[in-house]
Amino acid sequence: MLGMDEEVATKIGLDKIKNIRNENVDGIITACEFCDLQLTQI
């Protein structure tokens, strides 16, 4: 179960990186922090 949650959180993080990458570099850092936060909360 934990593995699935991590996979989902990582996918969300990667999707955010892809969405923000075209806008600015700071967005990539934000997306990575978001992904780390999701993994920590699980």
In angstroms, the Cα distances linking 40 to 4, 23, 24, 26, 33 are 14, 27, 25, 21, 10
In angstroms, the Cα distances linking 36 to 7, 30, 32 are 12, 10, 6
pLDDT category at 16 given cuts 50, 70, 90 is confident
In angstroms, the Cα distances linking 23 to 13, 17, 30, 34, 36 are 16, 10, 12, 17, 21
pLDDT category at 1 given cuts 50, 70, 90 is very low
pLDDT tens-digit profile of 23-37?
555 555 555 666 666
This prediction has a pTM of: 0.29
